[in-house]
Structure 1
Amino acid sequence: MFRNLKIHIFIYYFVTTATFLGILYYFLNILHVENNLLIVIVLLTLLTFSGFIIAKLSVEPLFQHVTNLQNLSKETLHELNLPISTIKTNLHMLKKSLSDEKDLKRAIRIESACDMLQQRYNELDYMIKLQSSNVAKENFSLDELLRQRVEFLKSIYPHVEFKLNLQPTQIHSDKVGLSKVIDNLIDNGVKYSQNIHKIDVELQDYSLHVKDYGCGMDEVELVQIFDNYYQSNENMQGFGIGLSMVKRFCDSNEVLLNLKSEPDNGTTIILKFKED
């Protein structure tokens, strides 16, 4: 599709340029027109029309392609919701009839996996709304959201000790987007704390501190850490887009972002929210 589009634009550009040169030659050497203003007006008119055609050729197919992808994503997302809900409902009923400890543990693992699928569903739904600028902000308890996200991440990282010091805090913000930010910050802390499995989460005076006790970063790494696809440790899993997403969220929601880190002394990321 896009290969043919490039060919069409190139052909149109080549023909248009040749036409302009031919018209200019005709005016100057055949008609011997000396009125430069007339030549400029004619050429500007043709350039404007040509620019409109090139824009139409290049943008409309891309717009249609993006629209089709968005529609497909929405339809797929809608279809995913039903099986997830079915699994959770039936699993909840099944757990009531299980008495064997091993079977109960298996059911709990299935439930955790289903919660992770639900989380991915929520993230996809959020990304679609974000693309369409349809993200809703709401009033909610930030300390309660932090407890919920830590409880969720405990099921993924049972070996990690989470220390919470949370002051009751009400904010008005994008709750789904902030949930993704919190998950990314804690997930990064766990990944880069391979020897000391401990994460501190503190919320005081509208400031959120997420501290790990991992490898830390030097000044060079701190400059690049918010770039897309940058990873201070290439052996880590993931695509290096987490902190870039965090920065975009903070910039669009007027949240001050700060980062403190030293090699071998861990990293602390600080989010400062607006006071209501």
Structure 2
Amino acid sequence: MSLLYYYKERNRLFQELKVANKLEYAECQHMNKILGLNDVCDMKIIDEIDGIKSVYGDIAVALLLLMLFVLPSGYYLAMISLRPMRESIETIDSFIHGIVHDINTPLSVIKLNAQTMQLGLKQKEFQEQNRRILQGIDEIKSLEEQLLFSLKAERYVLNVSEFDLHELLVERQKFYNEVRKSVHVHYEGSVLHVKADKALIKRLIDNIVLNAVKFSSRDADVTIRLQAQTLVIEDYGIGMEHPKEVFNKYYREDQSSKGLGLGLYIVASIAALHDLSIDLISKRHIGTRFVIHLHPITSRLQ
């Protein structure tokens, strides 16, 4: 604003000076005529173009000086203002690492003892109760893994290997059907070798399928299909109201439900690490469909 004001004021003064010179020249000519003099009237010529060029030059210099001052100052102020936030994030990350480590040790002891008890239990009722204990332990460990991955998702180094995705899905289908017996998880597909981080691909699929199982009604079906370079996971549950938001970190569609809002954020992060694209179609009270395009991890085998 100040530069614009300077330009307008400079131009106004230039025009006033030009008019004053013309009036002075006209008065000189008039006096010569009245007095009969032959004095030469000298009119100062002002080059308007040179004047404008000078103004533009001054503006350019002023803008350059302004940028040289503002940019470093802005960067310095931004660094100072963001420092408390950065330190808070680092403190939270360190706290989470510490908590996960402290929980993991007693959890491993509990799991080992529960597995030993399972071998010696005779009554089916106690076996079922012990199985639920083991399942609860696995869920806590899964949460630990998700927390740790979310802290380093952007700098995670892939452990790539070749494996049969079909074989992995057959194995996981058994687990999914044990999680909630009232929901039926179906799988259909054939052999498909891929080259990717197997643990992360398993986590990606688990997060989608377990979400589908969790939010499906009793006796509902969840379908997994491996076909023609795509993996389709479809449920007929409550659906999503804001499907474009669900991949955001800490976003929860249902605020009353348990969880940290990390499941689908981790899905998106793992997909990005493998250059996979995901199509998501969801409608309230109808269901949700994920289509994962696998070409980037199958083409690596060629």
Fold-level similarity (TM above 0.5)? yes
Query: Given that residues 196 and 213 in structure 1 are in contact (C-alpha distance below 8 angstroms), is that contact kept between their aligned partners in structure 2?
Result: no
Distance 1:119 1:260 in 2: 26
Paired AA for residue 65 in structure 1: S
Change (3 A) 1:39 1:212: closer
Paired AA for residue 89 in structure 1: L
Say which of 170, 183, 192 aligns to 2:206. 183
Distance 2:117 2:201 in 1: 33
Distance 1:262 1:227 in 2: 14
Paired AA for residue 141 in structure 1: D
Alignment correspondent of 2:126: 103
Alignment correspondent of 1:93: 116
Paired AA for residue 110 in structure 2: I
Distance 2:285 2:81 in 1: 51
Alignment correspondent of 1:152: 175
Is 1:143 the equivalent of 2:166?
yes
Distance 1:38 1:203 in 2: 64
Alignment correspondent of 2:276: 255
Say which of 194, 207, 225 aligns to 2:243. 225
Query: Given that residues 146 and 266 in structure 2 are in contact (C-alpha distance below 8 angstroms), is that contact kept between their aligned partners in structure 1?
Result: no
Query: Given that residues 259 and 268 in structure 1 are in contact (C-alpha distance below 8 angstroms), is that contact kept between their aligned partners in structure 2?
Result: yes
Alignment correspondent of 1:83: 106
* Aligned partner of residue 125 in structure 1, secondary structure: helix
Change (3 A) 1:128 1:110: same
Q: Kindly, what percent of the aligned residue pairs are identical?
A: 23
Query: Given that residues 225 and 243 in structure 1 are in contact (C-alpha distance below 8 angstroms), is that contact kept between their aligned partners in structure 2?
Result: no
Distance 1:98 1:77 in 2: 31
* Aligned partner of residue 119 in structure 2, secondary structure: helix
Is 1:55 the equivalent of 2:57?
no
Is 1:127 the equivalent of 2:150?
yes
Paired AA for residue 67 in structure 1: E
* Aligned partner of residue 153 in structure 1, secondary structure: helix
Change (3 A) 1:41 1:255: closer
Query: Given that residues 187 and 224 in structure 2 are in contact (C-alpha distance below 8 angstroms), is that contact kept between their aligned partners in structure 1?
Result: yes
Paired AA for residue 129 in structure 1: K
Distance 2:285 2:138 in 1: 34
Q: CA deviation at 1:111?
A: 0.9
Q: CA deviation at 1:238?
A: 6.0
* Aligned partner of residue 158 in structure 1, secondary structure: coil
Gaps of 5+ in 1: 1-33
Is 1:212 the equivalent of 2:235?
yes
TM-score, normalised relative to structure 1: 0.69
Change (3 A) 1:73 1:52: same
